[in-house]
Structure 1
Protein backbone atom coordinates (compact mmCIF):
# COMPACT_ATOMS: atom_id res chain seq x y z
CA UNK A 1 0.00 0.00 0.00
CA UNK A 2 1.35 3.40 -0.90
CA UNK A 3 0.83 6.64 1.01
CA UNK A 4 1.84 10.25 0.33
CA UNK A 5 4.70 9.74 2.78
CA UNK A 6 5.81 6.50 1.06
CA UNK A 7 5.24 6.80 -2.67
CA UNK A 8 5.68 3.75 -4.86
CA UNK A 9 9.16 3.42 -6.35
CA UNK A 10 9.53 4.54 -9.93
CA UNK A 11 9.64 1.64 -12.40
CA UNK A 12 13.10 0.84 -13.64
CA UNK A 13 13.68 0.84 -17.41
CA UNK A 14 14.25 -2.65 -18.82
CA UNK A 15 17.86 -3.64 -19.36
CA UNK A 16 18.41 -4.10 -23.10
CA UNK A 17 19.53 -7.57 -24.10
CA UNK A 18 22.83 -7.77 -25.92
CA UNK A 19 22.37 -9.25 -29.36
CA UNK A 20 24.63 -12.04 -30.49
CA UNK A 21 27.23 -11.35 -33.14
CA UNK A 22 26.38 -13.48 -36.16
CA UNK A 23 29.03 -14.74 -38.57
CA UNK A 24 28.06 -16.36 -41.87
CA UNK A 25 29.79 -17.08 -45.16
CA UNK A 26 28.66 -14.73 -47.96
CA UNK A 27 30.22 -17.02 -50.56
CA UNK A 28 28.42 -20.04 -49.11
CA UNK A 29 25.09 -18.23 -49.13
CA UNK A 30 25.55 -17.03 -52.72
CA UNK A 31 26.57 -20.49 -53.89
CA UNK A 32 23.67 -22.08 -52.03
CA UNK A 33 21.09 -19.76 -53.58
CA UNK A 34 22.47 -20.46 -57.06
CA UNK A 35 22.58 -24.22 -56.50
CA UNK A 36 19.06 -24.26 -55.05
CA UNK A 37 17.74 -22.35 -58.05
CA UNK A 38 19.27 -24.90 -60.45
CA UNK A 39 18.05 -27.92 -58.45
CA UNK A 40 14.52 -26.55 -58.08
CA UNK A 41 14.34 -25.58 -61.75
CA UNK A 42 15.39 -29.05 -62.92
CA UNK A 43 13.27 -30.84 -60.32
CA UNK A 44 10.07 -28.88 -60.91
CA UNK A 45 10.48 -29.21 -64.67
CA UNK A 46 10.79 -33.00 -64.28
CA UNK A 47 7.70 -33.11 -62.03
CA UNK A 48 5.58 -31.04 -64.42
CA UNK A 49 6.76 -32.38 -67.77
CA UNK A 50 7.91 -35.88 -66.83
CA UNK A 51 6.07 -39.08 -67.64
CA UNK A 52 5.64 -42.39 -65.87
CA UNK A 53 7.76 -42.63 -62.74
CA UNK A 54 9.80 -39.54 -63.57
CA UNK A 55 7.73 -37.10 -61.47
CA UNK A 56 7.95 -39.37 -58.41
CA UNK A 57 11.68 -39.86 -58.87
CA UNK A 58 12.10 -36.09 -59.18
CA UNK A 59 10.11 -35.48 -55.99
CA UNK A 60 12.18 -38.04 -54.09
CA UNK A 61 15.41 -36.50 -55.40
CA UNK A 62 14.25 -33.01 -54.37
CA UNK A 63 13.36 -34.27 -50.90
CA UNK A 64 16.85 -35.73 -50.62
CA UNK A 65 18.95 -32.98 -52.22
CA UNK A 66 17.29 -29.71 -51.16
CA UNK A 67 17.80 -30.20 -47.37
CA UNK A 68 21.45 -31.11 -47.93
CA UNK A 69 22.05 -28.03 -50.08
CA UNK A 70 20.44 -25.85 -47.41
CA UNK A 71 22.40 -27.60 -44.64
CA UNK A 72 25.83 -27.08 -46.18
CA UNK A 73 25.36 -23.61 -47.71
CA UNK A 74 22.58 -21.49 -46.17
CA UNK A 75 22.29 -22.98 -42.70
CA UNK A 76 25.81 -22.67 -41.16
CA UNK A 77 26.25 -19.72 -38.80
CA UNK A 78 28.18 -18.81 -35.66
CA UNK A 79 26.43 -16.84 -32.91
CA UNK A 80 28.77 -15.23 -30.39
CA UNK A 81 26.97 -13.85 -27.33
CA UNK A 82 27.94 -12.55 -23.92
CA UNK A 83 27.78 -15.96 -22.24
CA UNK A 84 28.07 -18.57 -24.95
CA UNK A 85 29.18 -19.52 -28.44
CA UNK A 86 26.56 -21.26 -30.56
CA UNK A 87 27.56 -23.14 -33.69
CA UNK A 88 24.86 -23.94 -36.22
CA UNK A 89 26.67 -26.46 -38.34
CA UNK A 90 25.13 -28.47 -41.21
CA UNK A 91 23.93 -31.43 -39.15
CA UNK A 92 24.37 -30.31 -35.52
CA UNK A 93 23.83 -27.36 -33.22
CA UNK A 94 26.52 -26.95 -30.57
CA UNK A 95 26.21 -24.54 -27.64
CA UNK A 96 29.41 -23.89 -25.66
CA UNK A 97 29.55 -21.57 -22.64
CA UNK A 98 32.67 -19.42 -22.81
CA UNK A 99 33.93 -20.97 -19.59
CA UNK A 100 34.05 -24.41 -21.21
CA UNK A 101 36.20 -23.31 -24.17
CA UNK A 102 39.95 -23.76 -23.88
CA UNK A 103 41.11 -22.66 -27.34
CA UNK A 104 40.14 -21.42 -30.79
CA UNK A 105 42.38 -22.86 -33.48
CA UNK A 106 42.95 -21.74 -37.05
CA UNK A 107 44.77 -24.16 -39.32
CA UNK A 108 43.29 -25.65 -42.44
CA UNK A 109 39.93 -25.13 -40.73
CA UNK A 110 38.68 -22.99 -37.85
CA UNK A 111 37.65 -24.96 -34.79
CA UNK A 112 36.82 -24.53 -31.12
CA UNK A 113 38.27 -26.85 -28.47
CA UNK A 114 36.27 -27.60 -25.32
CA UNK A 115 37.77 -28.40 -21.92
CA UNK A 116 36.79 -32.06 -22.47
CA UNK A 117 39.07 -32.19 -25.52
CA UNK A 118 36.19 -32.29 -28.00
CA UNK A 119 36.66 -30.23 -31.16
CA UNK A 120 33.91 -28.54 -33.14
CA UNK A 121 34.40 -26.96 -36.55
CA UNK A 122 33.13 -23.48 -37.37
CA UNK A 123 31.50 -24.26 -40.72
CA UNK A 124 30.41 -20.70 -41.44
CA UNK A 125 33.95 -19.35 -40.92
CA UNK A 126 35.95 -21.33 -43.50
CA UNK A 127 39.68 -20.91 -43.89
CA UNK A 128 40.83 -19.53 -47.24
CA UNK A 129 44.54 -20.13 -47.83
CA UNK A 130 44.30 -17.97 -50.94
CA UNK A 131 42.90 -15.06 -48.90
CA UNK A 132 45.68 -15.52 -46.33
CA UNK A 133 48.37 -15.40 -48.99
CA UNK A 134 46.77 -12.33 -50.56
CA UNK A 135 46.61 -10.58 -47.18
CA UNK A 136 50.25 -11.50 -46.50
CA UNK A 137 51.34 -9.99 -49.83
CA UNK A 138 49.40 -6.79 -49.12
CA UNK A 139 50.92 -6.55 -45.66
CA UNK A 140 54.41 -7.04 -47.09
CA UNK A 141 53.85 -4.31 -49.69
CA UNK A 142 52.46 -1.94 -47.07
CA UNK A 143 55.35 -2.59 -44.70
CA UNK A 144 57.87 -2.00 -47.50
CA UNK A 145 56.08 1.21 -48.52
CA UNK A 146 56.04 2.50 -44.92
CA UNK A 147 59.75 1.81 -44.63
CA UNK A 148 60.53 3.78 -47.80
CA UNK A 149 58.35 6.66 -46.63
CA UNK A 150 60.11 6.80 -43.27
CA UNK A 151 63.56 6.58 -44.87
CA UNK A 152 62.77 9.47 -47.21
CA UNK A 153 62.33 11.74 -44.17
CA UNK A 154 65.42 10.76 -42.26
CA UNK A 155 63.70 7.74 -40.81
CA UNK A 156 60.85 9.53 -39.03
CA UNK A 157 59.63 12.51 -41.00
CA UNK A 158 56.05 13.56 -41.61
CA UNK A 159 55.41 10.76 -44.09
CA UNK A 160 56.89 8.22 -41.71
CA UNK A 161 54.75 9.50 -38.84
CA UNK A 162 51.58 9.20 -40.90
CA UNK A 163 52.51 5.71 -42.05
CA UNK A 164 53.24 4.62 -38.48
CA UNK A 165 49.97 6.13 -37.27
CA UNK A 166 48.05 4.34 -40.05
CA UNK A 167 49.69 1.04 -39.16
CA UNK A 168 48.75 1.41 -35.50
CA UNK A 169 45.17 2.40 -36.36
CA UNK A 170 44.51 -0.26 -38.96
CA UNK A 171 46.73 -3.05 -37.71
CA UNK A 172 48.29 -5.67 -39.96
CA UNK A 173 46.40 -6.78 -43.06
CA UNK A 174 44.64 -10.08 -42.37
CA UNK A 175 42.15 -12.33 -44.14
CA UNK A 176 38.50 -11.73 -43.22
CA UNK A 177 38.01 -15.11 -41.55
CA UNK A 178 41.14 -14.54 -39.46
CA UNK A 179 39.67 -11.21 -38.33
CA UNK A 180 36.48 -13.02 -37.32
CA UNK A 181 38.48 -15.52 -35.27
CA UNK A 182 40.32 -12.63 -33.59
CA UNK A 183 36.96 -11.12 -32.58
CA UNK A 184 35.75 -14.42 -31.16
CA UNK A 185 39.02 -14.87 -29.26
CA UNK A 186 38.54 -11.40 -27.81
CA UNK A 187 35.11 -12.40 -26.50
CA UNK A 188 36.57 -15.61 -25.07
CA UNK A 189 39.26 -13.68 -23.20
CA UNK A 190 36.77 -11.11 -21.94
CA UNK A 191 33.98 -13.49 -20.91
CA UNK A 192 35.70 -16.79 -20.18
CA UNK A 193 35.78 -16.25 -16.41
CA UNK A 194 32.33 -14.64 -16.08
CA UNK A 195 29.95 -16.40 -13.69
CA UNK A 196 27.13 -16.37 -16.24
CA UNK A 197 29.38 -17.91 -18.90
CA UNK A 198 29.60 -21.30 -17.18
CA UNK A 199 27.42 -24.36 -17.71
CA UNK A 200 27.09 -27.51 -19.74
CA UNK A 201 27.88 -28.03 -23.40
CA UNK A 202 24.85 -28.86 -25.51
CA UNK A 203 24.96 -30.83 -28.77
CA UNK A 204 21.77 -31.42 -30.75
CA UNK A 205 21.32 -33.17 -34.07
CA UNK A 206 19.55 -31.13 -36.76
CA UNK A 207 16.55 -33.41 -37.24
CA UNK A 208 14.87 -30.76 -39.37
CA UNK A 209 17.57 -31.58 -41.94
CA UNK A 210 18.11 -35.28 -41.25
CA UNK A 211 14.44 -36.31 -41.28
CA UNK A 212 13.50 -35.10 -44.79
CA UNK A 213 16.87 -36.22 -46.14
CA UNK A 214 16.33 -39.74 -44.80
CA UNK A 215 12.76 -39.81 -46.13
CA UNK A 216 13.94 -38.73 -49.56
CA UNK A 217 16.69 -41.36 -49.58
CA UNK A 218 14.26 -44.14 -48.57
CA UNK A 219 11.66 -43.07 -51.13
CA UNK A 220 14.26 -42.83 -53.89
CA UNK A 221 15.64 -46.25 -52.97
CA UNK A 222 12.17 -47.81 -53.05
CA UNK A 223 11.34 -46.28 -56.41
CA UNK A 224 14.63 -47.41 -57.93
CA UNK A 225 14.29 -50.86 -56.38
CA UNK A 226 10.78 -51.39 -57.70
CA UNK A 227 12.05 -50.53 -61.14
Structure 2
Protein backbone atom coordinates (compact mmCIF):
# COMPACT_ATOMS: atom_id res chain seq x y z
CA UNK A 1 0.00 0.00 0.00
CA UNK A 2 1.35 3.44 -0.86
CA UNK A 3 2.51 5.68 1.93
CA UNK A 4 0.80 8.96 2.86
CA UNK A 5 2.45 12.13 1.69
CA UNK A 6 2.94 15.53 3.23
CA UNK A 7 0.40 18.17 2.22
CA UNK A 8 1.07 20.11 -0.94
CA UNK A 9 1.50 23.89 -0.72
CA UNK A 10 -1.80 25.49 0.37
CA UNK A 11 -4.15 27.02 -2.15
CA UNK A 12 -6.76 29.56 -0.96
CA UNK A 13 -5.91 28.67 2.65
CA UNK A 14 -6.64 24.97 2.05
CA UNK A 15 -4.19 22.17 2.73
CA UNK A 16 -4.11 19.62 -0.05
CA UNK A 17 -3.22 15.97 0.54
CA UNK A 18 -2.29 13.63 -2.31
CA UNK A 19 -0.39 10.38 -2.70
CA UNK A 20 2.80 11.20 -4.59
CA UNK A 21 3.50 7.49 -5.10
CA UNK A 22 0.03 6.98 -6.58
CA UNK A 23 0.42 9.95 -8.91
CA UNK A 24 3.82 8.76 -10.09
CA UNK A 25 2.45 5.27 -10.72
CA UNK A 26 -0.52 6.69 -12.62
CA UNK A 27 1.67 8.83 -14.84
CA UNK A 28 3.86 5.81 -15.61
CA UNK A 29 0.83 3.66 -16.48
CA UNK A 30 -0.62 6.37 -18.75
CA UNK A 31 2.72 6.75 -20.54
CA UNK A 32 2.91 2.98 -21.05
CA UNK A 33 -0.66 2.86 -22.36
CA UNK A 34 0.04 5.75 -24.72
CA UNK A 35 3.11 3.99 -26.12
CA UNK A 36 1.16 0.76 -26.62
CA UNK A 37 -1.81 2.38 -28.35
CA UNK A 38 0.44 4.41 -30.67
CA UNK A 39 2.33 1.25 -31.57
CA UNK A 40 -0.95 -0.59 -32.20
CA UNK A 41 -2.29 2.19 -34.43
CA UNK A 42 0.94 2.54 -36.41
CA UNK A 43 1.94 -1.11 -36.73
CA UNK A 44 -1.30 -2.97 -36.05
CA UNK A 45 -3.42 -4.59 -38.72
CA UNK A 46 -7.12 -5.22 -39.15
CA UNK A 47 -9.12 -4.55 -35.99
CA UNK A 48 -6.10 -4.23 -33.71
CA UNK A 49 -5.94 -0.40 -33.78
CA UNK A 50 -9.64 -0.11 -32.96
CA UNK A 51 -9.38 -2.63 -30.13
CA UNK A 52 -6.39 -0.74 -28.73
CA UNK A 53 -8.24 2.58 -28.89
CA UNK A 54 -11.35 1.14 -27.26
CA UNK A 55 -9.32 -0.53 -24.53
CA UNK A 56 -7.46 2.71 -23.84
CA UNK A 57 -10.72 4.67 -23.73
CA UNK A 58 -11.91 2.23 -21.06
CA UNK A 59 -8.69 1.90 -19.06
CA UNK A 60 -7.26 5.44 -19.11
CA UNK A 61 -10.12 7.08 -17.13
CA UNK A 62 -9.90 4.29 -14.54
CA UNK A 63 -6.15 4.79 -14.14
CA UNK A 64 -6.72 8.53 -13.70
CA UNK A 65 -9.53 7.88 -11.22
CA UNK A 66 -7.47 5.68 -8.92
CA UNK A 67 -4.08 7.42 -9.16
CA UNK A 68 -4.21 11.06 -10.26
CA UNK A 69 -7.69 12.11 -9.15
CA UNK A 70 -7.77 11.33 -5.38
CA UNK A 71 -7.16 14.39 -3.20
CA UNK A 72 -8.29 15.79 0.13
CA UNK A 73 -8.72 19.56 0.51
CA UNK A 74 -8.81 20.68 4.13
CA UNK A 75 -10.15 24.12 5.03
CA UNK A 76 -11.23 25.79 8.24
CA UNK A 77 -14.93 25.36 7.45
CA UNK A 78 -15.10 22.12 5.49
CA UNK A 79 -13.25 19.17 4.04
CA UNK A 80 -13.49 18.32 0.35
CA UNK A 81 -12.81 14.71 -0.57
CA UNK A 82 -12.12 13.75 -4.17
CA UNK A 83 -12.30 9.97 -4.44
CA UNK A 84 -12.08 7.91 -7.66
CA UNK A 85 -15.75 8.15 -8.59
CA UNK A 86 -17.23 10.73 -6.23
CA UNK A 87 -16.54 14.15 -4.76
CA UNK A 88 -17.78 14.77 -1.22
CA UNK A 89 -17.97 18.09 0.61
CA UNK A 90 -18.46 17.86 4.38
CA UNK A 91 -18.78 20.93 6.59
CA UNK A 92 -16.97 20.23 9.84
CA UNK A 93 -20.26 20.48 11.70
CA UNK A 94 -21.43 17.28 9.98
CA UNK A 95 -18.31 15.25 10.89
CA UNK A 96 -18.48 12.96 13.91
CA UNK A 97 -15.09 11.22 13.69
CA UNK A 98 -11.98 10.65 11.58
CA UNK A 99 -10.18 7.30 11.90
CA UNK A 100 -7.41 5.25 10.34
CA UNK A 101 -7.24 1.46 10.63
CA UNK A 102 -6.43 -0.29 7.36
CA UNK A 103 -7.75 2.74 5.48
CA UNK A 104 -8.43 6.37 6.34
CA UNK A 105 -12.12 7.04 7.01
CA UNK A 106 -14.33 9.95 7.95
CA UNK A 107 -17.76 9.58 9.56
CA UNK A 108 -20.72 11.95 9.53
CA UNK A 109 -23.21 12.57 12.32
CA UNK A 110 -25.71 10.34 10.48
CA UNK A 111 -23.25 7.41 10.56
CA UNK A 112 -22.24 7.53 6.89
CA UNK A 113 -18.64 6.55 6.22
CA UNK A 114 -16.39 7.88 3.45
CA UNK A 115 -12.88 6.70 2.66
CA UNK A 116 -10.02 9.16 2.20
CA UNK A 117 -8.29 7.65 -0.83
CA UNK A 118 -5.65 10.38 -0.93
CA UNK A 119 -4.43 9.56 2.60
CA UNK A 120 -3.47 5.87 2.36
CA UNK A 121 -2.37 3.90 5.40
CA UNK A 122 1.16 2.46 5.44
CA UNK A 123 1.32 -0.51 7.78
CA UNK A 124 5.10 -0.58 7.37
CA UNK A 125 5.50 2.99 8.63
CA UNK A 126 3.03 2.29 11.43
CA UNK A 127 5.23 -0.63 12.57
CA UNK A 128 8.31 1.59 12.43
CA UNK A 129 6.55 4.20 14.58
CA UNK A 130 5.48 1.48 17.05
CA UNK A 131 9.10 0.31 17.36
CA UNK A 132 10.21 3.87 18.06
CA UNK A 133 7.56 4.21 20.77
CA UNK A 134 8.66 0.93 22.31
CA UNK A 135 12.30 2.05 22.23
CA UNK A 136 11.37 5.36 23.87
CA UNK A 137 9.47 3.51 26.61
CA UNK A 138 12.45 1.20 27.14
CA UNK A 139 14.83 4.17 27.45
CA UNK A 140 12.52 5.89 29.96
CA UNK A 141 10.33 3.21 31.60
CA UNK A 142 8.92 5.59 34.22
CA UNK A 143 7.72 8.14 31.69
CA UNK A 144 10.24 10.79 32.75
CA UNK A 145 11.93 12.92 30.13
CA UNK A 146 15.44 11.61 29.63
CA UNK A 147 18.37 13.95 29.28
CA UNK A 148 18.91 12.25 25.93
CA UNK A 149 15.33 12.62 24.75
CA UNK A 150 14.50 14.91 21.85
CA UNK A 151 11.13 16.38 22.78
CA UNK A 152 10.70 17.90 19.33
CA UNK A 153 11.04 14.44 17.82
CA UNK A 154 7.81 13.10 19.38
CA UNK A 155 5.94 13.25 16.07
CA UNK A 156 8.52 10.94 14.51
CA UNK A 157 7.15 8.21 16.76
CA UNK A 158 3.75 8.44 15.07
CA UNK A 159 3.05 7.09 11.57
CA UNK A 160 2.44 9.95 9.08
CA UNK A 161 -1.11 8.85 8.33
CA UNK A 162 -1.98 8.56 12.02
CA UNK A 163 -0.61 12.06 12.66
CA UNK A 164 -2.61 13.44 9.73
CA UNK A 165 -5.78 11.75 10.97
CA UNK A 166 -5.18 13.09 14.48
CA UNK A 167 -4.81 16.61 13.06
CA UNK A 168 -8.04 16.25 11.06
CA UNK A 169 -9.88 14.90 14.10
CA UNK A 170 -8.68 17.83 16.21
CA UNK A 171 -9.77 20.30 13.52
CA UNK A 172 -13.20 18.66 13.24
CA UNK A 173 -13.71 18.86 17.00
CA UNK A 174 -12.52 22.45 17.16
CA UNK A 175 -14.72 23.66 14.29
CA UNK A 176 -17.77 21.46 14.88
CA UNK A 177 -19.86 24.28 16.38
CA UNK A 178 -18.57 27.17 14.28
CA UNK A 179 -21.41 28.92 12.39
CA UNK A 180 -19.35 28.94 9.19
CA UNK A 181 -18.81 25.15 9.40
CA UNK A 182 -22.46 24.14 9.30
CA UNK A 183 -24.46 22.79 6.37
CA UNK A 184 -25.38 19.59 4.59
CA UNK A 185 -23.01 17.08 2.98
CA UNK A 186 -22.74 17.43 -0.79
CA UNK A 187 -21.97 14.48 -3.04
CA UNK A 188 -21.31 14.54 -6.78
CA UNK A 189 -20.54 11.61 -9.04
CA UNK A 190 -17.46 11.98 -11.26
CA UNK A 191 -19.20 11.75 -14.63
CA UNK A 192 -16.02 13.03 -16.30
CA UNK A 193 -14.50 9.66 -15.35
CA UNK A 194 -17.55 7.41 -15.63
CA UNK A 195 -18.76 8.62 -19.05
CA UNK A 196 -15.59 7.93 -21.11
CA UNK A 197 -14.99 4.65 -19.28
CA UNK A 198 -18.55 3.53 -20.07
CA UNK A 199 -18.15 4.60 -23.70
CA UNK A 200 -14.93 2.62 -23.96
CA UNK A 201 -16.58 -0.45 -22.42
CA UNK A 202 -19.49 -0.28 -24.88
CA UNK A 203 -17.19 0.20 -27.87
CA UNK A 204 -14.94 -2.67 -26.76
CA UNK A 205 -17.94 -4.95 -26.24
CA UNK A 206 -19.24 -4.14 -29.73
CA UNK A 207 -15.86 -4.82 -31.33
CA UNK A 208 -15.47 -8.13 -29.52
CA UNK A 209 -19.04 -9.21 -30.28
CA UNK A 210 -18.65 -8.51 -34.00
CA UNK A 211 -15.22 -10.13 -34.32
Q: TM-score w.r.t. structure 1 length?
A: 0.82
2:210 maps to 226
The 1-side partners of 2:140 and 2:112 are apart by 45
Contact 2:100 2:161 in 1 (8 A): no
2:168 maps to 184
- Equivalent of residue 171 in structure 1, options 137, 144, 154: 154
1:147 maps to 140
Give the gaps of 5 or more residues in structure 2.
1-10
2:121 maps to 127
SS at match of 2:140: helix
Q: TM-score w.r.t. structure 2 length?
A: 0.88
Q: Cα offset for 1:204?
A: 0.4
SS at match of 1:103: strand
Give the gaps of 5 or more residues in structure 1.
1-16
- Equivalent of residue 138 in structure 1, options 132, 135, 142: 132
Number of residue equivalences: 199
2:109 maps to 115
Contact 2:61 2:197 in 1 (8 A): yes
SS at match of 2:97: strand
Contact 1:78 1:124 in 2 (8 A): yes
Q: CA RMSD in A?
A: 1.9
Residue-by-residue CA offset, 1:190-213 (whole Å, 9 max, x unaligned): 211100100011010000000000
Contact 1:18 1:82 in 2 (8 A): no
Q: Cα offset for 1:47?
A: 1.5
